[in-house]
Amino acid sequence: MTSTSGSRSVPASRGVAFEDALHSAAEIAARSPSSHNCQPWAVGWPTGTLARRAAAALLGRPTAGEGRPAGRDDGEFLVLALDRERRLSALPAHGTEMLLSCGAYGQILTRALAAQGWPADGVRFLDPAPGGHGPADGAPGRIFGDRWPDAWVPLCVVRLRRGHASARDLDELRGTVRARHTNRGPYDVAGIDPAVLAGLPTARPGPPSLLTGTEHGPEVTVRHVVADAERAAVADLVSRHGGRDFSHRLAWTETYSFVRRDEAEAAARGDGFSLGQLFGPLSPPRRFGMRIALAPPTMRILRHVGYHRILARQLAAVVRHSPAVVALCFGQEEPGAGSVVRGGAVLADYWLEATRAGLALHPVSVLLQHDDVRAELERRLGLPGRAFFVSRLGRAVSAFPPSQRLAAPRALRRV
Ligand SMILES: Cc1cc2nc3c(=O)[nH]c(=O)nc-3n(C[C@H](O)[C@H](O)[C@H](O)COP(=O)(O)O)c2cc1C
């Protein structure tokens, strides 16, 4: 599966062949956000008899398995997966971030397929590690046959059938996905219109989504933090605990392995972030200095003189001067993997809706990566459940260079 058809136009309400639609959708979904831009997602397309039978059985329709040939009248199936070779693993909380990233990708992929006349009409979440977020070891995807890569952990199976295509929906989605960026610069201090904030969690163009549906999973609550005292409380937590990222040897070594020297190196690698994406435009001497200062061996020395606390205070200052912070919360304290993937789908919709409203996000995940800090955040803001995503929200005053991506077909495989 190497050919792409990202720029093909779709005739209104006719739809395109599934393989073409899948390639176009993967081009769009490749721009999904992920922690450290590690892009841990993968998608198996069951085309072999065994794999289609396994997918159909998981969705409760053993149609192709009961003596009938594996015909196309059962629709198409896709298996969203986590690629263990691309995941972050230094902190237990990274398990959640990986599933959120895969869920966001799955949401954009299925929305792009729906716009091309391939809406999803069935979904089954597979819990790779019941009771936890860490994908199990072994080869959990073997039910889809020998072509399934050992490193891929299946997360959910989706069935898609022919429906109506909308070239307009597809163009709108592609444009919004391209316009969405993490912006780590300052935001306009003017408050955001409450009506705009109120519309973000609910306004959704296009058909309803199966991945975010609440039939099986817990509701996700979106909480906007705008009051001065509450934003000050978030900034205070960042100031006190934001340095943990830098002082945790394993976590910082892993993070630093995603930091690219400049845009050229970021483009060549196709993942991670450049110093320009992290800190805004830098002069060459400043970039060189930052690279040395942030290198794990230097950081191990500099943390004895409190450098990690200086960096935390800088992050706290931008949080304090942002007009809003958004927190997404699960209703339950220990959500299963399926619920977390759904949470990622909700996050994708939210982030795209914020983009349509002209707003930028800058996640501050350090507040969630340590249980004591997360618990204090939830208590101080009176959050209605377990927070799984926290971010600054506002109108960016400067543009940051867009981040790079791996080639979209890398994530796809016929099984
Ligand atoms: C679950 C999740 C957590 C993230 N946490 C952070 C974070 O703590 N700090 C940060 O600067 N960016 C964070 N990001 C943003 C990613 O770094 C960003 O999506 C990635 O580098 C790609 O860049 P883009 O969003 O501009 O396309 C997070 C993204 C996701 C999906």
Residue among 28, 32, 35 whose CB has most ligand 1 atoms within 8 A, to mutate: 35
Q: In the predicted model, is pLDDT for residue 212 greater than 70? A: yes
Is the predicted pLDDT of residue 106 greater than 60, yes or no? yes
Is 170 found in the same domain as 189? Answer: no
Q: Is the CB of 36 under 6 A from ligand 1?
A: yes
SS (H, E, C) the chain: CCCCCCCCCCCCCCCCCHHHHHHHHHHHHCCCCCHHHCCCEEEEECCCHHHHHHHHHHCCCHHHHCCCCCCHHHCEEEEEEEEHHHCCCCCCHHHHHHHHHHHHHHHHHHHHHHHECCCEEEEEECCCCCCCCCCCCCCCCHHHCCCCCCCEEEEEEEEECCCCECHHHHHHHHHHHHHCCECCCCECCCCCCHHHHHHCCCCCCCCCCCCCCCCCCCCEEEEEECCHHHHHHHHHHHHHHCCHHHHCHHHHHHHHCCEECCHHHHHHHCCCEEHHHHHCCCCHHHHHHHHHHHCHHHHHHHHHHCHHHHHHHHHHHHHHCCCEEEEEEECCCCCCHHHHHHHHHHHHHHHHHHHHCCCEEEECHHHCCCHHHHHHHHHHHCCCCEEEEEEEEECECCCCCCCCCCCHHHHEEEC
| Band of residue 210 on the pLDDT scale cut at 50, 70, 90 | confident
Cα 33 to ligand 1 centroid, rounded to whole Å:
6
Task: Write the CATH number for 237.
Answer: 3.40.109.10
8 Å CB contact between 322 and 393: yes
* Domain assignment present for 150: yes
For residues 348 and 220, membership in a common domain is answered with: yes
User: 189 pLDDT exceeds 60?
Assistant: yes
Q: Which of 127, 158, 175 is the last residue in one of the domains? A: 175
Same domain, 163 and 255: no
In a domain, 408, yes or no: no
The pLDDT value given to residue 297:
92
Asked if residue 9 is part of any domain, the answer here is no
Same-domain status, 193 and 147: no
Query: How confident is the model at residue 141, as a pLDDT?
Result: 83
- In this prediction the pTM is 0.92
In the reported structure, the alpha carbon of residue 78 is separated from the centroid of ligand 1 by a whole-number distance in angstroms of 26
Q: Does residue 187 share a domain with residue 152?
A: no
Domain's final residue, options 123, 158, 175? 175
> Are 159 and 239 in the same domain?
no
CA of 150 to the centre of ligand 1 (A): 27
- Co-location of 196 and 160 in the same domain: no
At residue 21, the pLDDT reads 97
In a domain, 412, yes or no: no
The pLDDT tens digits of the residues spanning 31-57 come to 999 999 999 999 999 999 999 999 999
Give nearest CA residue, ligand 1 atom 2: 35
Q: Rounded mean pLDDT of 266-292? A: 90
Q: Are residues 170 and 190 in the same domain?
A: no
Same domain (yes/no): 200, 143: no
Of the given ranges (96-110, 212-226, 277-291), which has the lowest mean pLDDT?
Answer: 212-226
Average model confidence (pLDDT) across the chain: 88
Q: Which of 27-31, 282-286, 375-379 has the lowest mean pLDDT?
A: 282-286
Is residue 289 assigned to a domain? yes
Whether 280 and 161 map to the same domain: the answer is no
> Which residue's CA is the closest to the ligand 1 atom numbered 15?
35
Q: Which of 86, 97, 365 to mutate to test the pocket of ligand 1 (most atoms within 8 A of CB)?
A: 365
Query: 34: Cβ below 6 Å to ligand 1?
Result: yes
Lowest pLDDT segment from 112-121, 219-228, 295-304:
295-304
> Rounded to the nearest whole angstrom, what is the distance from the C-alpha of residue 352 to the centroid of ligand 1?
14
Average pLDDT over residues 220-229: 95
Residue 12 placed within a domain: no
Same domain, 146 and 222: no
Residue 246 covered by a domain:
yes
* Same structural domain, 86 and 214: no
**pLDDT at residue 10 in the model:** 44
What is the position in ligand 1's atom list of the atom closest to the CA of 184?
A: 11
7 in a structural domain: no
Q: Decide: 212 in ligand 1 pocket, CB within 6 A.
A: no
Residue 341's nearest CA partner among 220, 178, 174 is: 220
- Total of domains in the chain: 2
> By residue range, what is the domain housing residue 237?
182-394
| 219 band by pLDDT with thresholds 50, 70 and 90 | confident
Which of the listed residues 153, 175, 197 is the one where a domain comes to its end? 175
The residue-averaged pLDDT of 267-273 equals 96
Instruction: Please give the distance, rounded to the nearest whole angstrom, from the Cα atom of residue 32 to the centre of ligand 1.
Output: 10
Which residue's CA is minimally distant from atom 6 of ligand 1? Answer: 363
Ligand 1 in contact with 32 (CB < 6 A)?
no
Residue nearest to atom 19 of ligand 1 (CA): 33
Q: Residue 63 pLDDT more than 70? A: no
